[in-house]
Each structure stands twice: as structure tokens, then as C-alpha cells.
Chain A
Amino acid sequence: MRLKDFKRSVHRILPTSNQRFFYGQQCFALSYRTMASPKITSATHTLLHTALMAEARPLINYYKLQSLSDQVFRTWSNGLITLVVSGMGKVKAASATAVTLDSLPRNSICLNIGIAGSDQPIGQLLRAHCIVDAATKQRWYPQLTATSDIPTTSVCTVDQPAIEYDKLTSFDMEAAGFYQAALMYGTSELTQSIKVISDNPSMPILSDGSKLDANFVSDLIEAQLEPVEHFINELSGLAANLPAGENLDSLFQAWCTQYRFTVTEQRQLKRQLQRYWSLFHQLPDEDLARKQGKPAVLIKYLEQQLTKQSICY
């Protein structure tokens, strides 16, 4: 079966709302499995980013994610949640985030989850209200629109493991890279970073990182799965307020494939379909384009139909 035919056959058996959640070829078979998961409360796609395999493992098990082959970075997915492990450092974090988000729908939920050092109790879960790149002093403020009980912190991303601790600041090595890259694909309200405190003044990390035991890190993350899931659901609830566009996409794509629209005409057509949908709560007959013949005539015809319409309050 050719890829195109395979895509079509999968689209036929999956609900429309699930069509856009494919990640590469390998997600086609996984999407169906996802639909039965009781842990996912929304249809918005979520990207989880971790630096270490030890941070990712509890999430992979919890969300029953399956490994995707032929990826630049190690990636897992269940169709609705995709997880990427970047390796340590902000450059790798930015690269992995950008590469993965390039294949996901725009305005997906993006969540960086990882360990950090701070003068806070070991195991404490914190949400970033500010992310600072220690090297460039650049700052970002993830919008705290989604409600959450998780206390907030300023996260300072350093290039080398930090051995100083502060009550108000958590030190990590990836958040700034992740955040900067994720914002190119999404929106600040849905792009967040949460940290679990792994080292503090009474249990410091060594400068070579040798205190980082993989099982210890996994246990820290595992202990916070419930609030993490709750937070993801809050973000999903917020994302549900974004306008849905897929109802127009199929007709728009079909007409653009069948007829030659200039870029300007495509823009006009898309807006007119939006207007048509908002006024009539349905799309024009698919055959309309053929009846009108030329794209310019079709656009003019739609404009005339829309201009006649008024709203009764």
C-alpha cells in the first residue's frame, strides 16, 4: 500500500478530531490505541520534553508511550502525547523541541519536565514563572494562565551544573533552550516548564554530576506523576478554548488541490469559508467550485452570498 493510500484508509477509520494528531508515519497505528486511554482528557496534542532518559522513563510507562524509530532524537508517542529526550544542555533541548514540534500541530501543549537544584526540599515540584538564560541574561515569563496548585519558581538555565543554591531560583540546564524553541511553534500559555528538586544545600550535586543516580531521578519524577498529569489536564482544558479550524480544512484543501488558486485567492477563500461557516454553520456544497468554474468567480460568488447575510440578535 502506498503511503498516501495508507493515510487515507487510516483517516477513514479515525474520528475527524483525531486526524491531525499523527506524528510521522508510525503514529497511524498508535492513534487508535490512544483513544481508549482514560488518562487523556482532551484532544490537544502534548509534547513532553526531558533531558535525561531517567526523567522520561516514568512518563513513558505511565502514558504507555511507544518508541518511534528513525528520529533524530529519541522519541515516544501514543498519538496524543509525544515525548522527546534531548540529552543535557540548552542547545540539545532547543534542537529536540524544534525538530519534534515541526511534526506536531501548531499550538500544541509543550511541557519541559526535569530535575533542578534549589534551596528547597528534595522532591519538591515547582512550576517556572520566569526562565532566565544565565549566559545571555535573556528572560521569558511563561504565562500562568492555566490554574495549578504547583508553587512557582524562577528557573535559571546554566551551561554547567550549578553548585550554588537559592530559595527563589531553581537551576537547570535546558529550560531556556526548550522555551525559546517551543515559542516558535506555540503560545506562552501552553508552553510551560516544571521542575522536581533533585539537589539542595544539604544534598548537593558534584560538579561532575556523579551524584545523579538514574533510579533516584526516575523515582523523583514518578512521585510527581499525579500533579503533572493534573497540570497537563489543566493545560488541555485551557487549549480547548482555541478556535477549531479543521472543519474548514478538508474542503479548503480539496478545492486547492482541484483548482489553481493564487496565494492571495487562497487567503481570500480561507477567510470566506470561515465567514460562511460562522454565518450558516455549514460549509458550501463541495460541488460549488466546479459549478462556478474559475477560482475568481467562486470567490466572487461566495462574497455575494455572504454580503447578503445578516444576523438576527
Chain B
Amino acid sequence: MSGTIYVEDAATDSPYTQHIIKRHSNAGIVSIDRYTEVFNPKAQNFRLQKKNPALILAKKHKNFVLPAPQDYNIGGKHNYYFSHMMNCIYDCRYCFLQGMYQSANHVVFTNYSDFFEKITETSHQHSGEPVWFFSGYDCDSLALEPVTGFMHACLDYFSGSSGKLVAPPNAYLEIRTKSTQIRNLLRHDPIPNCVIAYSLSPHNIADQLEHKTPSLEKRLLALEKLQTAGWKIGLRFDPLIAAENFEQLYGELFEQVQQRLDTNNIHSVSLGTFRLPKPFYKKVIKLYPDEPMFAVASHDTDGMIGYPVEQESSMLSFCANSILNFISPDRFYPCQDVSTIIQCPTTV
């Protein structure tokens, strides 16, 4: 963690702010009016900041809960995402955050209860119907948990054990992560309305592109523990990365999943190929002009940069058909249209 913590004046009084500051007693504290003064200016270099990101503690004032992008769902009709944090301690080369933000500093919004109030309010707007709230869109949900304690508070809210604010019964939570910081989850009783979803990539791809993340082996181990403890788990194969040995890599990955996990007891599986909005892609290739994966993925389809359509279809087809060999179709939620490329599964 960086030696510098920027603290917004409005966030100073939050007990979480105080807790985080106390935890970093050696860090230099810099008071700021608004986090945007440090986070948003141009003439910052995301790649350099990734080497030693600072922590910014701030108060969020609006947009606590936002509608999820189309196709970002696991079967629910009403889908929202929320981010208690901006940026991630990991450094995945394909990550869209490096194209979206000017800064790689970590922003943590410490007014946690305001998020929960908005989740309650949004759930009431759709009363009687399930409403999904996705955590881990602009950050990894669990990676900085020992510092922030956000998920601990969130689990208390969803399980009703906080005593103050309780999530409505129609509110569902997905915690998306690559982190193995699951101690708090294992201490907690499983919550029926909560899914812990892991992003998985073949070992060699994770090793070369998902810098600073836990290995595939460690992620599978965390999934095993969570599943054994009774938590609902999800698998996210997104982004799929093109490779000369694509079928071998992903074939092995699906084999490992089947060997390690109870596939009848997986809540949901989703997948999607690597894709970035063109403006993000332009920024990312300036940061990493020598990265081979960007040299291959450069096809423009309606403003989205990714692989050529035929290659995308072939990747999706292989993976969708492999997954449908061990997951029933009602638990399979691809982020891209695969209806025309799925063959009849051999076993379900």
C-alpha cells in the first residue's frame, strides 16, 4: 500500500476513514476538498501509478447504484451495479479500468451505509421481483477487504445481522472477485440471496496477463472452500483471450473446474470474449504499445475493439459447448449472443 493517503474533508468523520487511517499509521495524510482534484486531472500516467498507487478516502454523493450494462446479468430482469471503490489492486492487462480512468490510485468511498440505503430504495422500486446488485464492476469486490471492511458491512446488511439497515428480501447480491480474501465469508453463515462469483482464466493466461492476482489454483481452492461452506458460487469466463492453443487452454480449464467443484451446485456461469470500447482501447495501447494481446485484438465492430467476428464466434462456440456439457442451460448466461453457435449439449 502506498505511503500516501488523500482524505476528503467530507469523509474525515466516517468511522471507516478513521479505521483505515489508523491501519496505515506510517502513511502521509494529505487533506483534499474533493477526490476528483487528485483522481481526474489529465497529465497522469496510469501505468506509472500502478507501480505505487495512493489511497484516496472519499465520500460519494450520488450514483450509488447504477443500471448494469445490457447482457451483464445472471438471469434477473432488474440489474444494477455499485462500486464502493474505484480501481483495483490487481493489474490485469486487459482491464477496461486502465482505459476509463486517468489515475490508478485507489478511491474508497467510506460512506458505506449510503450504498445500502440506495440498494434498499432501488429494491423497493421493483417490489415483488428479484433485483440483482453486482459488486466488483469498477474494482475487485474482495481484494482490498482487509483494509476497507466494506464486504463485511455489506454481508451484515444482506443477512440482516447489522440490526439497523436490512436488505429487502427481493435484493440479490453478486460479489465478483479474483481475490482469495474469503476469511470473512467463511466466518459468516451463507446468505441465500448472495452469489460469490470468480473470474477464471487458464493458468498460462492468468500468469501472463493477470498480474498480481492469485493463481488459478488458489482461486479454485477458494471456490472449493466456499462451496463446501454452503455459499452459492458463480464462474465468470470473461474475458476469453484468443490464443494459438485456445482450445487446449480452455479445455483444460473446464476440466479442472469439473474435477474440483460440484458442478451441479454452481449457481451460474457466464462468458464473453475480450472487448473494449474504442476510446478505452486507444488509451490502453498508448500505455502498453508493446503488449502482444492488443496487437491481435484490434478489430473494430461498431465501436467495440476485439477479435474478428469469425474468431469471436469460434471462441464462444467452443467454450459455450464445453460449458453446456457440465452446466444446465438455465444456469448459463453468456454476455454475448451465442444462440446461433451452440450445438446440442451431449450431457446436461
Binding site for B on A (CB under 8 A): 107, 129-130, 139-141, 143-147, 151-152, 183-184, 186-191, 238-239, 241-243, 245, 271, 274-279, 306-307, 309-313
Instruction: State which of A130, A144, A147, A278 has its C-beta within 8 Å of the C-beta of B290.
Output: A278
Whether B43 pairs with A310 at a CB distance below 8 angstroms is: no
The docked-state distance in angstroms from the alpha carbon of A243 to that of B291 is: 10
Cα distance A288–B242 in the bound complex, in angstroms: 28
The residues of B that contact A183 with a CB separation of less than 8 Å are 43
The reply to whether A277 and B4 form a contact with Cβ atoms under 8 Å apart is no
**Nearest Cβ in chain B — how far from A107, in angstroms?**
8
Shortest distance between the CB of A169 and any CB in chain B (Å): 12
Q: Given that A129-B30, A313-B249 are contacting pairs, would A141 and B48 also be in contact in the complex, using a CB cutoff of 8 Å? A: no
Give chain A nearest CB distance to B92 CB in angstroms: 14
Cβ < 8 Å to A, chain B residues 39-55: 41, 43-45, 47-49, 51-54
Determine if A144 and B3 form an interchain contact, defined as CB atoms under 8 angstroms apart.
Answer: yes
Q: A312-B243, A313-B202, A313-B245 are in contact. Are A144 and B289 (CB under 8 A)?
A: no
Say which size band chain B's interface belongs to: 35 or more
5 closest pairs, A vs B, by CB? A275-B295, A313-B204, A312-B244, A310-B244, A183-B43
Contact with A along B237-250 (1 / 0, CB 8 A): 00001111100010
The residues of A that contact B302 with a CB separation of less than 8 Å are none
B122, CB-defined interface residue at 8 Å: no
Which residues of B line the A interface, CB within 8 A? 2-4, 6, 28, 30, 32, 37-38, 41, 43-45, 47-49, 51-54, 103, 105, 202, 204-205, 208, 241-245, 249, 285, 287-296, 298, 308
B-chain residues with CB within 8 Å of residue A151 when the two chains form the complex: 28
When the two chains form their complex, are residues A145 and B51 in contact, meaning their CB atoms are under 8 A apart?
Answer: yes
CB < 8 Å neighbour of B32 from A141, A146, A189, A278: A141
For the complex, give the distance between the alpha carbons of A306 and B295 in Å: 8
Contact check: which of B49, B290, B292 meets A143 at CB < 8 Å?
Answer: B49
B245/A241 in contact, CB under 8 A: no
Cβ–Cβ < 8 Å partners of A307 in chain B:
308
A-B contact pairs, 24 of them (CB 8 A): A129-B4, A129-B30, A143-B48, A143-B105, A144-B3, A144-B54, A151-B28, A187-B48, A188-B43, A188-B45, A241-B51, A242-B47, A243-B288, A275-B298, A278-B289, A278-B291, A278-B292, A279-B292, A306-B295, A309-B296, A311-B242, A311-B292, A312-B245, A313-B243
